[in-house]
């Protein structure tokens, strides 16, 4: 049965409404034209964006940045690990040969302290210029430039030998390291945004392996290879950095890192963002625990009659960092972005100080190992946060602000420990920076919600 069409008499108007306004033909035409214009503009905008990305990828391939190997995924982890190794190979190549350098160049204790502290200070001072370089050239190019600066400046430290050249090249090496450090979180965000925790743990493992290689192999292997010539040993440790940088430049996965494509135009950290200060203070507190322990454990053990434990304690301090990378890599979802793990690491650092100061032989070694473990956990957890907290175009800004605050804090606190020892004459007072660093991690880590629930891993 055919359905009857409603007639004018059967159509009722609701009560209270006398008539329904009907759009005029002119208004209907205007709406239609406006809709067409919006759709056309949206289509053109998508087309411009698609063409920009296509042209950027073509330009990247023309410059030889496209990988020539099929499996680029695992290589991203390898390149991050190599970058971490490169940042520490040359930096930690100097302490083993420092007595020879001091004797040949007639350095006093103040010059030695300045030489060892200069790279740490530059990690804070040059982080913002590194952010500017990333904003102008992209994280990938900044990484390559920074690593090349590290390699060549490190190899030139022994020319002369000259005190002026040594300090000048150490300065440029520190600048190169400071450029690379904010570039790595940006690369993690672009390369491995779905596995930030694992990528950060692998990068940090590279840092620790680089420390161990140069510190452990310089005296027994590298120096005998060059007849005890410390200048050539510095050149030797620059060679792996050059080779790995060439591999990164040739085979690193292509990135759309053009400024217009990724929107990275700003480079100055946002000092009004609470996350910048929270991350900076947490990272600075953790770094203070490690730097102060590394600096004062030998003197403390000599002053308290445990000189024979200097080697075992320093080994425990550095080896104790390695399990932290495994723990965070396995439990990244449960640890990264939460306040409890950071606060627990700060409390455990204070416990480690109590164990170390207990005086027993076993307590000294175990306490040193706990120092290294806690400092490494804090470092990994803070390094993983900028890619998760900041938008893609602002990761380098947040990272640079964090490193500026953190390393400046880690540079000042150990100086307080040395001044406290000089003023009081008590060796135990040298570990004041460890206590202050642990307290800083606890307070800063619990003062602010680090990661919104929607952005958790």
Write the Ramachandran bin of 359: left for phi over 0, alpha for psi from -120 to 50, otherwise beta: left
Where are the alpha helices (H) located in 106-256, listed in sequence order?
A: 109-125, 127-137, 139-155, 163-191, 196-217, 223-225, 230-251
Q: Is residue 62 part of a domain?
A: no
Interatomic CA distance for residues 379 and 373, integer angstroms: 10
Do 372 and 437 reside in the same domain of the chain? yes
Q: Is residue 186 part of a domain?
A: yes
Range of the domain at 330: 269-457
Mean per-residue pLDDT for 438-457? Answer: 72
Mean per-residue pLDDT for 409-425? Answer: 86
Terminal CA-CA length for the chain: 61
| Cβ neighbour number for residue 156 with a 10 Å cutoff | 20
At 138 the pLDDT is 86
Domain count, the chain: 2
Q: Environment class of residue 1 by beta-carbon count within 10 Å: exposed (0-12), middle (13-18) or buried (19+)?
A: exposed
Do 360 and 324 reside in the same domain of the chain? yes
Interatomic CA distance for residues 311 and 308, integer angstroms: 7
Do 249 and 208 reside in the same domain of the chain? yes
Condensed to tens digits (0 to 9), the pLDDT of residues 105-120 reads 988 767 777 787 788 8
Domain boundary among 267, 283, 302: 267
Greater model confidence, 275 or 63: 275
Q: At 366, which CATH number?
A: 1.20.1250.20
Domain boundary among 267, 298, 320: 267
- Percent share of the chain, pLDDT over 70: 79
CA atoms within 13 A on the CB side of 112: 17
Condensed to tens digits (0 to 9), the pLDDT of residues 56-91 reads 445 444 444 444 443 456 889 999 999 999 998 998
Mean per-residue pLDDT for 211-226? Answer: 86
At 44 the pLDDT is 53
Residue in the structure block whose two tokens are 């890599």: 329
How far CA 292 is from CA of 61, 359, 412, in Å, comes to 47, 18, 10
Do 230 and 327 reside in the same domain of the chain? no
Averaged pLDDT of the chain: 81
Query: Is the pTM higher than 0.85?
Result: no
Q: Is residue 16 part of a domain?
A: no
Whether 389 and 275 have beta carbons less than 8 Å apart is answered as yes
Q: Is residue 243 part of a domain?
A: yes
């Amino acid at each position: 049965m055919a359905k009857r069409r409603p007639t004018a008499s059967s159509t009722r108007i609701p009560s209270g409404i006398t008539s329904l306004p009907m759009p005029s033909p002119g208004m209907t035409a205007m709406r239609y034209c406006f809709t067409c214009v919006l759709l056309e503009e949206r289509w053109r905008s998508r087309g411009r964006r698609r063409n920009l990305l296509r042209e950027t990828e073509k330009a990247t391939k023309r410059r030889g940045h496209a990988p020539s190997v099929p499996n680029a995924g695992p290589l991203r982890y390898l390149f991050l690990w190599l970058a971490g190794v490169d940042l520490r190979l040359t930096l930690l190549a100097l302490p083993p040969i420092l007595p020879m350098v001091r004797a040949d160049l007639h350095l006093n204790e103040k010059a030695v302290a300045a030489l060892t502290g200069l790279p740490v200070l530059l990690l804070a001072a040059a982080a913002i210029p590194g952010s500017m370089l990333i904003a102008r050239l992209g994280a990938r190019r900044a990484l390559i430039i920074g690593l090349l600066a590290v390699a060549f400046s490190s190899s030139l430290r022994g020319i002369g030998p000259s005190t002026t050249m040594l300090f000048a090249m150490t300065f440029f090496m520190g600048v190169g390291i400071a450029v690379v450090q904010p570039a790595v979180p940006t690369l993690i965000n672009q390369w491995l945004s779905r596995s930030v925790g694992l990528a950060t743990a692998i990068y940090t493992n590279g840092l620790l392996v680089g420390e161990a290689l140069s510190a452990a192999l310089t005296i027994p292997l590298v120096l005998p290879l060059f007849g005890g010539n410390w200048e050539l040993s510095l050149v030797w440790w620059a060679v792996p950095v050059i080779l790995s940088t060439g591999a990164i430049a040739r085979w690193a996965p292509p990135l759309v890192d053009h400024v217009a494509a990724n929107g990275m135009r700003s480079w100055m950290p946002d000092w009004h963002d609470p996350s910048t200060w929270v991350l900076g203070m947490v990272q600075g507190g953790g770094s203070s625990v490690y730097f102060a322990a590394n600096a004062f454990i030998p003197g403390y053990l000599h002053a308290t009659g445990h000189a024979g434990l200097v080697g075992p304690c320093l080994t425990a301090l550095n080896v104790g960092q390695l399990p932290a990378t495994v723990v965070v890599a396995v439990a990244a979802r449960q640890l990264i972005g939460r306040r409890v793990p950071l606060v627990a690491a700060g409390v455990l650092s204070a416990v480690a100080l109590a164990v170390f100061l207990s005086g027993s032989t076993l307590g000294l070694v175990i306490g040193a190992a706990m120092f290294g473990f806690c400092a490494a956990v804090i470092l990994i957890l803070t390094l993983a946060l900028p890619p998760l907290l900041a938008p893609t175009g602002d990761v380098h800004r947040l990272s640079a602000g964090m490193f500026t605050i953190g390393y400046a804090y880690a540079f000042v606190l150990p100086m307080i420990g040395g001044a406290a020892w000089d003023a009081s004459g008590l060796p135990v007072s040298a570990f004041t920076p460890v206590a202050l660093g642990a307290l800083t991690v606890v307070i800063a880590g619990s003062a602010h919600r680090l990661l919104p629930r929607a952005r958790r891993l």
